[in-house]
Amino acid sequence: MGELLKRIEGNTYYIEGPVNTGVYVYGNNRCMVVDTGSSEDWGRKIYKALEAEGLRLNLIINTHSHADHFGGNNLLVKRTGAEVAATAIEAAIISSPYLEPFYLYSAHPPKFLQNKFLMGKESPVDRIIAPGKLELEGAEVDIVDLKGHSPGQIGVGTPDGVLMTGDACFSAQIAQKYKLLYFTNIGDTLDTLKNIKETDYSYYLPCHGDLETDIRAVVDVNLNAINEVMGIIRWELLRPMTREELGSAVSERLDIQLNRTQYYLNQSCLAAYLSYMTDLGMVKGRIEGRRMVWEAV
């Protein structure tokens, strides 16, 4: 295979990029890809890599609906007629990308949030898939439940012992640096991270980061970051404060610089922590003086 397609094992390859694209070849030079990068340009790059090897693209699987994971869909669909598959909730956003800035802002978002990081170009989704076995013509892959970073996120396991993990966990370097990693459901994320540690694939391909043979150390760094953030939130909430004030306090503690896009991502992520910690009885929210304040229990 050429230089763009890197072989991982057997019929499983990837195209390296800011968002890695997984490739699985089956049958008579057919293939499927997992995630298509952030833009039409990435779609073109993927198309060229497959074309150079005489591969016919039949299926695109999107692990989840963040804009940097389905940007190449339209170009690939137009040129190859491939089908697009995603889980139900992610398919809703991939086909109506306005929903992403809408949920982050919780109403019609101002134009500065309708940007290329938060809102991709809409793509058709032809097949709704769910965790379990997925039949390809003459082959089969595992669709693995990896929800947490996004509510319907999945990974794809190939018969060559490779698990493509989407954004289920971040590289050790990113996790150590930022700590406040983007997860929208902390309970599901913890379950997903523990489940990943119990799998025994030979290779793990995250969308952001390097191919790993043992992902457990990386998962542990992610778990430590989550525990550290929970500790900071509990500590800060010894003094009752609003989510706005908590966001400011946590960003200061972790030395996080914010632009407006990052601010809304961070607020969303903090909302996920507050929801999880409230349901566990660690913190509580109440109305005080017409403000919603949060405090440690």
Residues contributing to the site for Zn ion (CB under 5 A): 66, 167
Q: With CA atoms as reference, report the closest residue to 221 among 170, 255, 182, 270.
A: 170
- Longest CA pairwise span in the chain (Å): 68
Q: Report which DSSP code applies to 137.
A: T
In this complex, which beta carbon is closest to Zn ion, that of residue 25 or of residue 270?
270
In this complex, which beta carbon is closest to Zn ion, that of residue 80 or of residue 165?
165
Give least dist CB 106 to Zn ion, A: 19
In this complex, which beta carbon is closest to Zn ion, that of residue 45 or of residue 66?
66
Question: Which residue, judged by CB position, is nearest to Zn ion in the bound state?
Answer: 66
H or E stretch covering 103: helix 99-105
H or E stretch covering 9: strand 5-9
Structure token pair of residue 147:
């929800």
Give least dist CB 135 to Zn ion, A: 27
Give least dist CB 217 to Zn ion, A: 21
34: number of CA atoms within 13 Å, CB side? 30
Give least dist CB 63 to Zn ion, A: 8
In this complex, which beta carbon is closest to Zn ion, that of residue 4 or of residue 146?
146
Separation of alpha carbons 19 and 36, rounded Å: 8
Give least dist CB 174 to Zn ion, A: 12
Q: Rounded to whole angstroms, what are the CA distances from 69 to 35, 177, 216, 243, 270? A: 5, 23, 24, 29, 23
In this complex, which beta carbon is closest to Zn ion, that of residue 193 or of residue 283?
193
